[in-house]
């Protein structure tokens, strides 16, 4: 499935249910944050080094939550004719200029100041 | 750009900067929530009906933030070999079964109880 | 109950359950964000003008969530000997200087730029 | 400063600036989540065991952010005549019944399932 196909499917889904009235950008931004919190919840008490190892149940839950975040992100972005993948590609180019590898490499202690993605 | 291409580019980017050490799923989940909050911030004082109309500056900011969310979501998902678009497609199929159009249509007052996407 | 009493009760509670090991500031910050998302969830599809009117069930849920946020905020703050109420009082003084009433009054359109609390 | 005093001071502050119009519960919930994300940001790349040790600058920033969260939490709670400290005390009593010490003590591996505060 492509972003364009997902966008179209979501619009049809909302239209058939008359749910477009709830999908203001403000509301979609709130819903997006609620879904992301469900991902955070999966990792909140986990030790960092264990956070790669999920039980099959948690992994299945994570996949669902990632799906929900992708759905709301695409829904929100579509209100402004933004393609999330294209936005990521453009932001990625900015990041490459902002954090030159030779300047920041190995300076892990400065990571917070540099930011990074 | 496809999800696969973005995933690969992000891995190279992190590798060149020796930043993989920071990219535990726990940390990526936190970073994802911080980026989403920057989207919420854009809409926090806006009236719902005005939230579709952003100034060019805000729109450009929103595109950057959507890019950041997409980057962290893809980064996190890649740790578990999850494709965000495929996860969205699967979750979307679940949603279609969970909220049959003929059952929930026009029952907007019940939207909160039904959830929805 | 005062902040000091709550802080002491929470420390005893965690100690009796041997849960102190989970209560790093990093984890408490994550838990705090998860609880706040449960408040956001209560209002995500509500119209702004209706958001003051909650059903008795939602109101009871909101009270529980506000309690949870206060618990985690106090728990996190206590790790750094910070009193949330004192921190609020200090921040409030800063806000009064930052946003002089005669400068910002009635300039609602500029509210986003001014920020405010 | 007590919660009652803070509540009154915040109402006066908003009144003098004609900002009450922005302070719907929906908007306050969003603002609360944005402030909490600024706390999460302080800890997102920190190792768990280092998250207790902040530089003086970060500590000062954390105090400000805790103040902001307390301000928005009190503001939101006041719209429903809820006292955050009283809500915390009530929720704390519920938690004591929900997680009996003799049942959950030392069962740290089950912490996620038990929840906890």
| Distance, CA of A27 to CA of B53 (rounded, Å) | 14
**pLDDT tens column, A25-62:** 999 999 999 999 999 999 999 999 999 999 999 999 99
Query: How many other CB atoms are found less than 10 A from the CB of residue D33?
Result: 26
Q: How confident is the model at residue B20 (pLDDT cuts 50, 70, 90)?
A: very high
Domains and CATH numbers, chain A: 3-107 (1.10.287.1080)
Inter-chain contact D116–C17, Cβ cutoff 8 Å?
yes
Q: For each of chain D's 117 residues, which pLDDT tens digit applies? A: 899 999 999 999 999 999 999 999 999 999 999 999 999 999 999 999 999 999 999 999 999 999 999 999 999 999 999 999 999 999 999 999 999 998 888 565 445 555 444
**CA of residue D36 relative to chain centroid, distance:** 8
D93 at C interface, C-beta within 8 A: no
Q: Which residues of A53-89 are buried (b: 16+ CB within 10 A; e: fewer)?
A: ebeeeeeebbbbbbbbbbbbbbbbbbeeebbbbbbbb
State residue A88's pLDDT score.
98
- The secondary structure of chain D in percent helix, strand, coil, rounded to multiples of 5, reads 75, 0, 25
State residue B112's pLDDT score.
53
Question: Which residue do the tokens 């207790």 mark?
Answer: D52
Q: Nearest CB to B85: which of A3, A32, A99?
A: A3
Query: Is the pLDDT reported for residue B109 higher than 50?
Result: no
Query: Is the pLDDT reported for residue C111 higher than 60?
Result: no
B46 at C interface, C-beta within 8 A: yes
**pLDDT tens column, C47-69:** 999 999 999 999 999 999 999 99
Inter-chain contact C40–A33, Cβ cutoff 8 Å?
yes
E strands present in D57-114? none
Residues in contact with B89: Cβ distance below 8 Å, sequence separation at least 6, in sequence order: A1, A6, A67
Query: Is the pLDDT reported for residue A96 higher than 90?
Result: yes
CA angle (B69, B72, B75) in 5-degree steps: 145
State residue D104's pLDDT score.
86
Size of the B and C interface in Cβ pairs below 8 Å? 13
State residue D111's pLDDT score.
54
Query: Is the pLDDT reported for residue B12 higher than 50?
Result: yes
**D-chain residues near B36 (CB < 8 A):** 37
Helix (H, G, I), strand (E, B) or coil at D47: coil
Helix (H, G, I), strand (E, B) or coil at C17: coil
Query: Is the pLDDT reported for residue A108 higher than 90?
Result: no
**Torsion sign across C-alpha atoms C31, C32, C38, C41:** negative
State residue B29's pLDDT score.
98
| Distance, CA of B96 to CA of B14 (rounded, Å) | 37
**D-chain residues near B30 (CB < 8 A):** 40, 43-44
**B-chain residues near D38 (CB < 8 A):** 37
Query: Is the pLDDT reported for residue B111 higher than 80?
Result: no
| Distance, CA of A107 to CA of D79 (rounded, Å) | 47
Comparing C-alpha atoms, which of C51, C26, A46 is closest to residue D40? C26
């Amino acid at each position: 499935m492509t972003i364009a196909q997902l966008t179209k499917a979501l619009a049809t889904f909302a239209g058939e249910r008359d749910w477009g009235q709830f999908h203001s950008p403000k509301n979609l931004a709130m819903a997006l944050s609620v879904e992301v919190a469900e991902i955070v919840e999966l990792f909140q008490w986990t030790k960092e080094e264990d956070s790669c190892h999920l039980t099959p149940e948690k992994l299945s839950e994570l996949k669902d939550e990632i799906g929900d975040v992708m759905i709301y992100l695409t829904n929100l972005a579509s209100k402004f004719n933004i393609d999330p993948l294209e936005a990521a590609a453009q932001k990625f180019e900015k990041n490459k200029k902002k954090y030159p590898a030779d300047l920041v490499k190995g300076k892990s202690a400065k990571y917070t100041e540099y930011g990074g993605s």
